[in-house]
Amino acid sequence: MKKITLSKIIIPIILLTVSILCVLPFLMIVFTSFASEEGLMQYGYSFFPHLPTLKSYEYIMSNGTQLWSAYGLTIFVTVVGTFLGIIFMTTCAYALSRDDFKLKKFLSFFIYFTMLFSGGTVASYIWIARYLKLSNNIVVLFLPIMMSAYNIFILRVSCKSIPYSLIECAKLEGAGEWYIFVRIVVPLAKTGIATIALLTMFTLWNDWYNSMMYMDTSDKCTLQYYLVKILDSITFAKANASASGGLSQASELPDEGVRMAICSLAAIPMLCVFPFFQKYFVKGITVGSVKG
């Protein structure tokens, strides 16, 4: 019979408690999204909303065509951006992990330099809008953010952990570089690749800044920016009503409820995706944090 130690009881209890504490805020957001403004003002936030209503979701769905269009565009940008980002970052990381690559030190320093210094908003806008002419182009929604220097270095460590003897054996058998990369490197580095894919997916899904900066048409609006515009419209309506003496009518707008409903709508898709990457996430971050 196995001996049950005190640590085997306490540690799971602590982890379970921490997990519950992490989930409770999100549950609070979901429940609050069904609360009315009057109920929030009288009773405050609660896991059991007083005077429950669907007014917040009705307000968001009032322009359902644009909402689903924003959802579709965001899904497209996230999938395509993640796929291309993984291809470019993995090939770059593999090249930097090879000791026989002559430009290894120069490119590593060049990539690392971008983690310390940035050209700034003005320079980025001029480069993307004026020189690359990507304004109002769907490509601009994922091109500037689909690659990350931090993610490249994590992938480099994953690629470097692969024994070089395997690559040498494959070369002796006549395998080319692309064959080695696709058939040997990618399968053995899938933990790091899955981790970076998840991080890239989160970045692309939550981005609204590029849509605000480079898109002038409402039909090319990502989900996050569309939800930001809804909040701005409510704030503007309340400020305008207050200035014109119509505060009582503006107070009926579901301000706090809409904020919580927006958080719920934006988080649900990623919550559905995360379980498929969870088994790779912790291991991938741990491998990538080891100095290569």
At residue 133, does pLDDT exceed 80?
Answer: yes
Which two structure tokens, joined as six digits, stand for 147? 């690659």
Which two structure tokens, joined as six digits, stand for 109? 């320093």
CA atoms within 13 A on the CB side of 98: 16
pLDDT digits (tens, 9 = 90+) for 187-206: 888 888 888 888 899 899 98
At residue 30, does pLDDT exceed 80?
Answer: yes
pTM beyond 0.95, yes or no: no
Average pLDDT for the chain: 81
At residue 1, does pLDDT exceed 60?
Answer: no
At residue 225, does pLDDT exceed 50?
Answer: yes
C-alpha torsion angle, residues 27, 29, 35, 40 (rounded to 10): 120
- Percentage of residues in the chain with pLDDT exceeding 90? 11
Which two structure tokens, joined as six digits, stand for 261? 């409903």
Distance, C-alpha 131 to centroid of its chain: 27
Confidence at residue 4, expressed as pLDDT on a 0 to 100 scale:
64
SS (H, E, C) the chain: CCCCCHHHHHHHHHHHHHHHHHHHHHHHHHHHCCECHHHHHHHCCCCCCCCECCHHHHHHHHHHHHHHHHHHHHHHHHHHHHHHHHHHHHHHHHHHHCCCCCCHHHHHHHHHHHHHCCCHHHHHHHHHHHHCCCCCCHHHHCCCCCCCHHHHHHHHHHHHCCCHHHHHHHHHCCCCHHHHHHHHHHHHCHHHHHHHHHHHHHHHHHCCHHHHHHCCCHHHCCHHHHHHHHHHHHHHHHHHHHHHCCHHHHCCCCHHHHHHHHHHHHHHHHHHHHHHHHHHHHHHHHHHHCCC
At residue 291, does pLDDT exceed 60?
Answer: no
Of 154, 148, 166, the closest CA to residue 191 belongs to 154
At residue 178, does pLDDT exceed 70?
Answer: yes
175 and 201 Cβ atoms separated by less than 8 Å? no
Confidence at residue 77, expressed as pLDDT on a 0 to 100 scale:
93
- Percentage of residues in the chain with pLDDT exceeding 70? 86
Of 113, 213, 92, the closest CA to residue 156 belongs to 92
Question: Going by C-beta distance under 8 Å and a sequence separation of 6 or more, which residues neighbour residue 1?
Answer: none
Distance CA 58, CA 61 (A): 5
The stretch 232-239 carries a mean pLDDT of 72
At residue 72, does pLDDT exceed 90?
Answer: no
The stretch 263-268 carries a mean pLDDT of 81
Of 23, 43, 47, 19, the closest CA to residue 33 belongs to 47
Confidence at residue 24, expressed as pLDDT on a 0 to 100 scale:
87
Confidence at residue 82, expressed as pLDDT on a 0 to 100 scale:
93
210 and 177 Cβ atoms separated by less than 8 Å? no
Please, what sign has the CA dihedral across residues 186, 189, 192, 194?
positive
27 and 260 Cβ atoms separated by less than 8 Å? no
